[in-house]
Structure 1
């Protein structure tokens, strides 16, 4: 991605299959970087956790991580674990939650490398797996890829862009007042907010782009 000499680069926290609000931030920012150099802190659960909705309502899933070798490591150094064959749990849950949506079968095959046996070998670091999901999500939403990871140390004065770091609060789901969109079980459960953007993509398909575009044009955001 090429950036202009005056374009700011918004540094966002690493989140796993982030919320709709997170990707609205990406849409509004234009140029983003992901701060995988941030020091590991187990309190930041959104770095390896995401939420969806199925027949029972909101469900949260976590990618298990291996114990870091040092308490002073960065999130970019954290490895994923194969504990409990979590990929099978995630895959079955996504199939159960969104198998009835119009676009699920169209999208799902491309996600199988992140949801099948051997995922811990294909994506040994949490960063590898998270970036793979993020790339797939951004492609569906027509969003630009991150300029570079802040951990890589490639952003300096020569880049011409100002680094605008996210606050610690950006690890939490925000924008609780985002307008509702169609959800497959809304008639029984009502609209459920604050979910992973996967919920938006599976329910709306290509119209998810239109939803974000409308929000980005709203004067309140």
Structure 2
């Protein structure tokens, strides 16, 4: 298989980037019904108090269901400032924070209308840092894919009980994290955790 289909994700977890790195062609699903409590609008980082979830608020609609490509970001709260402060507090003392943070600051200043656009810009930036050259293609409809396409939609999820199947090709290997003196290794956090802690070695880890 040379193609993978993934959900969109906000500062996606390490497993997500390992999957992107594994395939030649990457499709991002935009025609699915938007799923809450997923990586679509949240990421997990390791703070001084343990694992911290950062969630991008999405505007409520009159529709019970709406498409992922229609999900609009809600800026009625100062979530961008809170997210950046959380990331800064968690990683300012990590080995590569100063080296990469400037690449991510624009995502906490610019106000993208759609969640899909924000996530795609973040993913493209991360791939650029990792020097992983992949063309991201958006799906043109919602469909069932043939066996030669790896369908990872609904597989990479923050709640294991809601995973549709397991990714048998991914196994999180420990690396030194910022608060290793306080907590045991926390696997599969946001790619930010891997980048800020391992720097140029991140792509080898993937």
The corresponding residue for 2:84 is: 91
Extract unaligned runs of 5+ from structure 2: 142-147, 161-165
SS in 1 for 2:45: strand
What pairs up with 1:14-25 in 2 under 5 angstroms? Answer: 14-25=8-19
Cα shift readout 1:31-76 (whole Å, capped 9, x = no counterpart): 111111211232x521100000011111101000111353343101
The corresponding residue for 1:144 is: 133
Residues 77, 146 of structure 1: alpha-carbon distance in 2 compared, 3 angstrom cutoff: farther
Matches of 1:69 and 1:114, distance apart in 2: 28
Taking structure 2 as the reference length, what is the TM-score of the superposition?
Answer: 0.84
What pairs up with 1:35-46 in 2 under 5 angstroms? Answer: 35-42=29-36, 44-46=37-39
Q: Is the 8 A contact 1:49 1:60 kept in 2?
A: yes
The runs of 4+ residues in structure 1 deviating greater than 3 Å are 68-72, 170-177
Q: Is the 8 A contact 1:34 1:146 kept in 2?
A: no
Deviation at 1:163, TM superposition (A): 4.4
Matches of 1:145 and 1:83, distance apart in 2: 34
Matches of 1:129 and 1:182, distance apart in 2: 29
Confirm whether residue 191 of structure 1 aligns to residue 185 of structure 2. Answer: yes
Matches of 2:185 and 2:156, distance apart in 1: 23
Matches of 2:131 and 2:61, distance apart in 1: 34
SS in 2 for 1:50: strand
Taking structure 1 as the reference length, what is the TM-score of the superposition?
Answer: 0.79
Q: For the pair shown, which has the larger CA radius of gyration, 1 or 2?
A: 1
What pairs up with 1:205-216 in 2 under 5 angstroms? Answer: 205-212=199-206
Matches of 1:114 and 1:75, distance apart in 2: 19
Extract unaligned runs of 5+ from structure 1: 1-6, 154-161, 213-221
Q: Is the 8 A contact 2:6 2:28 kept in 1?
A: yes
